Structure 1
Amino acid sequence: MFETHFGFSAPPFQLNPDPTFYFGSKGHSNALAYLQYGVHQAEGFIVVTGDIGAGKTTLVRTLLEGLDSTQVKAAQIASTQLDATGLLQAMLTAFGVPHQPGAQSKASLISTLEAFFMTLAIKNKRALLVVDEAQNLSMDAIEELRMLSNFQLRKQALLQSFLVGQPELRGMLESQRLEQLRQRVIASCHLGPLDLDETRRYIEHRLNRVGWKGNPSFEDAAFPRIHQATGGIPRRINLLCNRLLLSAFLENLNRIDEDHIVRIARELRDEVGETTVAMAPVRPAEPRAQRVAEPRTVVPVPMPGPAEQPERSLALHRIARLDVQGERTVMCLVDSPASYFKAALLASALEQGESACRVVVVGCRTAQQLGPVENYAEAVDLPSLEVHLGVQSGGAARRTADSVLRFETLLDEFDPDAVVPLGLSDDLVSCVMLAIRRGIPSLRVDAGSLPPESFPGPRINADVLDRLSSVLYAPTRVASLALAQSGVPAHRIQVVGSVLLDGVAAAQTAGTLANALMAHHGLGSDFILVTSRVGEGRLAAASLSKLVLMLSRVRGERSMLWLVCGETQSALRAQGLGTVLSRSGIALASLPVFSAKLPILERASHLVTDAQDDLVEVAFALGKKVLLVDEEGQAPMVTDPAMAWLPLNATDLGPAQPPRDARNPDGGAAPAVARHLRGWLADPAGQASLRPEGAPAARLLSERA
Structure 2
Amino acid sequence: MYFRGSFYFCAMRSAPCALRAFGLRSALCVFLVCSLKILEFCALRSALCEVLIYMYENFYGLKENPFNVTPNPEYIFLGETHREALAQLLYGVREKKGFIVITGEVGTGKTTLVHYLLDKMDGNGHTKTAFLFNPKLTVNDFIQYILKDLGVRVQGQTKGEYLHNLHRYLLNAYRKDERVVLIVDEAHGLNGELLEEIRLLSNLETSKSKLLQIVLVGQPELDKTLSRSDFRQLRQRINLRCHLLPFSAKETKEYIEKRLRIAGAKESIFTEKAIKEIYSRSGGIPRLINILCDNALLNGYALDQKRVDARSVKEVAKDLKIVKKYRRILIWSLFCLSIAAGILLFVYLQKSGSLLPLYQGILRGLQYMKEILNKGVSALLQFP
Query: Do the structures match in fold with TM over 0.5?
Result: yes
- 1:116 alignment partner, one of 158, 166, 169: 169
Q: What is the identity percentage for the equivalent residue pairs of Structure 1 and Structure 2?
A: 38
CA distance in 2, matches of 1:110, 1:278: 49
CA distance in 1, matches of 2:183, 2:146: 10
Query: Are residues 1:106 and 2:159 paired?
Result: yes
Query: Are residues 1:171 and 2:216 paired?
Result: no
- 2:108 alignment partner, one of 42, 54, 57: 54
CA distance in 2, matches of 1:278, 1:160: 41
* Equivalent residue number for residue 254 of structure 1: 306
CA drift of 1:42 comes to 0.9
Query: Are residues 1:238 and 2:290 paired?
Result: yes
CA drift of 1:37 comes to 2.2
Q: Which residues of 2 match residues 451-470 of structure 1 at below 5 A?
A: none
* Equivalent residue number for residue 136 of structure 2: 81
CA distance in 2, matches of 1:278, 1:117: 49
Is the 1:74–1:95 contact (alpha carbons within 8 Å) kept by the matching residues of 2? Answer: yes
* Equivalent residue number for residue 479 of structure 1: none
- 1:279 alignment partner, one of 301, 324, 343: 324
Q: Deviations over 1:172-217 (max 9, x none)?
A: 11111221222221211111111212111111111111121126x3
Is the 1:83–1:137 contact (alpha carbons within 8 Å) kept by the matching residues of 2? Answer: no
Is the 1:43–1:159 contact (alpha carbons within 8 Å) kept by the matching residues of 2? Answer: no
Q: Which residues of 2 match residues 406-417 of structure 1 at below 5 A?
A: none
* Equivalent residue number for residue 25 of structure 1: 79
Query: Are residues 1:205 and 2:258 paired?
Result: yes
Query: Looking at CA atoms only, which structure, 1 or 2, has the larger radius of gyration?
Result: 1
* Equivalent residue number for residue 348 of structure 1: none
- What secondary structure does 2:326 align onto? coil
Given the two structures, how large is their TM-score scaled by the length of structure 2? 0.67
Any stretches of 5+ residues in structure 2 without a counterpart? 1-53, 328-384
Is the 1:84–1:140 contact (alpha carbons within 8 Å) kept by the matching residues of 2? Answer: yes
* Equivalent residue number for residue 69 of structure 1: 124
Q: Which residues of 2 match residues 285-684 of structure 1 at below 5 A?
A: none
CA distance in 1, matches of 2:110, 2:276: 24
Q: Indicate the structure with greater strand content.
A: 1
Query: Are residues 1:190 and 2:243 paired?
Result: yes
Q: Deviations over 1:269-317 (max 9, x none)?
A: 2xxxxxxx342128xxxxxxxxxxxxxxxxxxxxxxxxxxxxxxxxxxx
Code of the aligned partner of 1:140: E
CA drift of 1:133 comes to 0.5
- What secondary structure does 1:152 align onto? coil
Code of the aligned partner of 1:229: R
Code of the aligned partner of 1:73: K
Given the two structures, how large is their TM-score scaled by the length of structure 1? 0.37
CA distance in 1, matches of 2:300, 2:66: 14
Code of the aligned partner of 2:153: P
CA distance in 2, matches of 1:156, 1:31: 22
Q: Deviations over 1:452-498 (max 9, x none)?
A: xxxxxxxxxxxxxxxxxxxxxxxxxxxxxxxxxxxxxxxxxxxxxxx
CA distance in 2, matches of 1:98, 1:39: 25
* Equivalent residue number for residue 95 of structure 1: 150
CA drift of 1:154 comes to 4.7
Aligned residues: 273
CA drift of 1:164 comes to 0.6
- What secondary structure does 1:14 align onto? coil
* Equivalent residue number for residue 229 of structure 1: 281
- What secondary structure does 2:214 align onto? strand
CA distance in 2, matches of 1:152, 1:86: 22
Q: Deviations over 1:88-134 (max 9, x none)?
A: 1221222122226xx71111111111111122122221210111101
Distance change >3 Å, CA 33–CA 43, structure 1 → 2: closer
Is the 2:110–2:217 contact (alpha carbons within 8 Å) kept by the matching residues of 1? Answer: yes
Code of the aligned partner of 1:13: F
Q: Deviations over 1:534-571 (max 9, x none)?
A: xxxxxxxxxxxxxxxxxxxxxxxxxxxxxxxxxxxxxx
Q: Indicate the structure with greater helix content.
A: 2
- 2:267 alignment partner, one of 200, 204, 214: 214
State the superposition RMSD in angstroms: 1.9
CA drift of 1:52 comes to 1.1
* Equivalent residue number for residue 143 of structure 1: 196
- What secondary structure does 1:144 align onto? helix
Any stretches of 5+ residues in structure 1 without a counterpart? 270-276, 283-705
CA drift of 1:136 comes to 1.0
* Equivalent residue number for residue 98 of structure 2: 44
CA distance in 2, matches of 1:237, 1:166: 19
Code of the aligned partner of 1:236: L
Q: Deviations over 1:124-159 (max 9, x none)?
A: 212101111011111111111111111123522110
Distance change >3 Å, CA 84–CA 223, structure 1 → 2: same
CA distance in 1, matches of 2:117, 2:85: 10
Is the 1:121–1:153 contact (alpha carbons within 8 Å) kept by the matching residues of 2? Answer: no
CA distance in 2, matches of 1:261, 1:281: 17
Which of structures 1 and 2 has the larger relative contact order (alpha carbons within 8 angstroms, sep 6+)? 2
CA drift of 1:76 comes to 0.2
CA distance in 2, matches of 1:163, 1:267: 36
Is the 1:41–1:186 contact (alpha carbons within 8 Å) kept by the matching residues of 2? Answer: no
Is the 1:44–1:149 contact (alpha carbons within 8 Å) kept by the matching residues of 2? Answer: yes
* Equivalent residue number for residue 501 of structure 1: none
